[in-house]
Structure 1
Amino acid sequence: MRRQRKKLAQLARLWASNQLQTQEDDDAATQSHVDEALAAWGLQSIEEPNNMEADTPENVFYLWPKSVKTWGIWQRLQSMWRTGMAGRDGLDWPSVTTWLRHAERMGAKDLASTLQTLRVMEAAALNAWAEQRQKQEAKTP
């Protein structure tokens, strides 16, 4: 479970940094299926990645099959962020908990584990956004 949380935190960090991309596929039919699948998760493929070399192994991110469900939940929670003067402050946890219990019909055991994983993902995303703000502030005179 610890490795899965670490992997999902890495995914949330890439997502928050706008670095989550897919490889271009030569087969047009396959690419169409890939585009449809990505669109279902609110993602899109790009032809020329910014600031990344798509073919290098260190820039390839593989989502484990056991993490797909949690990633889907993460994507569906994106309207539940609390925002302040500096941007997003964190997820609205009472709303998240209620939504998981009712919309996802999650039991107590799964709920506790999922909440813990989502908190790790939230921290990774918030850290990525904080780094982006610091870089932006450093650029402005």
Structure 2
Amino acid sequence: MHGKNQPDPHNAWTSAIAALGLLDQPAGERVAYLWPDNVRAWSCWQGVQTQWRVGMGGATGLDYAGVRAFLDEQDLQRDERREVFAGIQACERATLDVWAEQRERQERAASGLPVPGRM
């Protein structure tokens, strides 16, 4: 049972954020809260997770043609579509930054170099 201020480790949002590597702790130990204005963008962000372009070094970014096709099906007004797309791009950039930091930490650890703490 979870108290009023205790996150539910089975919460889908917390699990999704952890699966993207955006949490240092396992799902359930931290909770992310969204501003109401960002809920639609976050929902669409979840919907485009199959649209990652992946190269030899890992994911390089989203396939924007696929993102646009997804957004075509979302019944968004023109201004809302722009806002949602900007939100998706912000999530994409943050995810790529976290993944790059994780790769750097893994490479440093594998080479025996000290691994700096996360700020």
Structure 1 length normalisation: TM-score?
0.59
| Matching of residue 108 in structure 1 with residue 78 in structure 2 | yes
Output the CA distance in 2 between the equivalents of 1:72 and 1:63: 11
The answer to which structure has the higher helix fraction is 1
Deviation at 1:70, TM superposition (A): 1.5
Output the CA distance in 1 between the equivalents of 2:35 and 2:51: 25
Contact 2:41 2:84 in 1 (8 A): yes
Output the CA distance in 1 between the equivalents of 2:39 and 2:91: 14
Contact 2:14 2:31 in 1 (8 A): no
Output the CA distance in 2 between the equivalents of 1:99 and 1:78: 11
**What SS class does the counterpart of residue 43 from structure 1 fall into?**
helix
Deviation at 1:69, TM superposition (A): 1.8
Output the CA distance in 1 between the equivalents of 2:82 and 2:37: 17
Amino acid corresponding to residue 64 of structure 1 in structure 2: W
Output the CA distance in 1 between the equivalents of 2:101 and 2:48: 22
**What SS class does the counterpart of residue 140 from structure 1 fall into?**
helix
Alignment coverage as a number of residue pairs: 99
| Matching of residue 90 in structure 1 with residue 61 in structure 2 | yes
| Matching of residue 74 in structure 1 with residue 45 in structure 2 | yes
Amino acid corresponding to residue 2 of structure 2 in structure 1: D
Q: 1:137 aligns with which of 97, 100, 107?
A: 107
Matches within 5 A, 1:1-141: 25-26=2-3, 35=10, 38-39=11-12, 41=13, 43=15, 50=25, 54=29, 61-101=32-72, 103-141=73-111
> Identity over aligned residues, as a percent?
32
**What SS class does the counterpart of residue 59 from structure 2 fall into?**
strand
- Consecutive unaligned residues of structure 2, counting only runs of 5 or more, are 17-23, 112-119
Deviation at 1:50, TM superposition (A): 3.6
Amino acid corresponding to residue 100 of structure 2 in structure 1: A
Output the CA distance in 2 between the equivalents of 1:60 and 1:91: 25
Q: Larger relative CO (CA 8 A, sep 6+): 1 or 2?
A: 1
Deviation at 1:92, TM superposition (A): 0.4
Output the CA distance in 2 between the equivalents of 1:69 and 1:106: 10
Deviation at 1:65, TM superposition (A): 2.4
Q: Which residue matches 1:20? A: none
